[in-house]
A and B are shown apart, each in its own frame.
Chain A
Amino acid sequence: MTVWGFFVVGLLVPLLLNEVSDLGSWIAGRLLSWGARRLGSPEKAARYSEEWAADLERVPGKLTKVGYALGVVAWGVPRMRLQFALQRRRQRKLPDISNSVSHAPVAIASWERLHGSERHAACLTAARQGDRQAWPVLVEDLTPLVWHVARTNGLDRFLSEDAVQSVWLSLLEQIDTPADPRDLAGWLITETRAVARQLGSDIEDESA
């Protein structure tokens, strides 16, 4: 029995552990390349899968490699994915609105004397018609609402910032929805909730 005991403890167990930890670095590599592919564009996928693979080689210990990969995939990838999505939208969409020519130079903006949803409806209508002054007014008036909805839907400050940007960019992209401009606040609330869900409710400590 002692011979078998020696065999098991001295040979089999280390061999098995070695197998398992090799499996560990294989899994880590697979996880990272999967995560990189989720970043939303082939360029980012190529860049980060190589960058992370190189860093992975320098993570000490085979089992901590899995920890490294899990951290990057679970925490880093969702944030980067959103960030890159915003980047792409910014590059694609922003010039349209910010450089758009004002169709009708208006002496006094039509929303100036209005309040609440009437005011926002007037702003949205003006923005749709290319009035460059209307958009910042909307953003300033309604960002607190979007921020509040994001926060009450479980997002931390960090993610709420992302949510705010994401929601305004969605509105820019679909400036002709909602059909009735007076529904704007409702539309923003729904959109913010959707973004909050999409971002998940992981409000762990950032340093976790």
Chain B
Amino acid sequence: MDPLSRVTDATLDVLEVLVGAEDDLYGLRIAQLAGRKTGVVYPILARLEDAGWVDSLWERAEPSDRGPRRRFYQLNPSALAGARELLKQRRGAIWQRSVSPRLSAVPGSLGLQSGGSS
């Protein structure tokens, strides 16, 4: 699991939903629960997955004639503590969803730290 070097507010919303641990969460559902557009949520999920924070699996093992399968997302158990900590830090003691300004998140790779000051 890689550390997240930048965490946007949208990312926090997504993590919040995933920590909530409702079963069978798929992209659209996560976007609805997080109150974010799907166009924003899929890239975030892809990032989190790349960083090892999130696992995803198909609804059914094999494609079938019942139509396209959903992809279910869940927080990697090893990321749970990190996600809770992050939410606590950034959302305060009660990190119930509220109006939120935004910031950002990318899996830290290469040890590239951005200037980040502007």
Contact = CB atoms under 8 A, between A and B. Distances in A.
The secondary structure that dominates the B interface is loop
A98 to B, nearest CB: 9
Given A55-B38, A76-B40, A50 B63 contact: yes
B27 A55 contact: yes
Contact of A160 (B70, B102, B111, B114): B114
Contacts of A161: 6, 104, 106, 114
Contacts of A158: 6, 8, 104
A145 B68 CA distance: 46
Contacts of B46: 80, 83-84
A206 B6 CA distance: 15
Contacts of B36: 207
Given A72-B38, A72-B39, A143-B114, 5 more contacts: A68-B38, A84-B46, A136-B111, A140-B113, A206-B10
Interface of B: 6, 8, 10, 26-29, 36-43, 46-47, 50, 59, 63, 67-71, 102-104, 106, 109-118
Contacts of B42: 48, 52, 72, 76, 80
Contacts of A207: 10, 36-37, 40, 102
Contacts of B43: 75-76, 79-80, 83
Contact of B110 (A54, A74, A139): A139
Given A55-B38, A68-B38, A158-B8, A143 B113 contact: yes
Interface of A: 47-48, 50-55, 57-59, 68, 71-76, 79-80, 83-84, 86-87, 90, 94, 136, 139-140, 143-144, 147-148, 151, 157-158, 160-162, 164-165, 168-169, 206-208
* 7 nearest A-B residue pairs (beta carbon): A75-B39, A71-B39, A147-B115, A53-B68, A144-B115, A55-B28, A54-B68
A173 to B, nearest CB: 13
B64 to A, nearest CB: 11
Contacts of B114: 143, 147, 160-161, 164
Nearest to B118: A151
A64 to B, nearest CB: 11
27 contacts: A50-B71, A51-B68, A51-B69, A51-B71, A53-B67, A54-B67, A55-B26, A57-B67, A57-B68, A58-B26, A58-B28, A76-B38, A76-B42, A76-B43, A80-B42, A83-B50, A84-B46, A94-B109, A139-B111, A143-B113, A157-B103, A157-B116, A164-B114, A165-B109, A168-B110, A206-B102, A208-B37
A83 B118 contact: no
Given A161-B104, A165-B110, A51 B40 contact: no
Contacts of B67: 53-54, 57
Contacts of B59: 54
Nearest to A157: B104
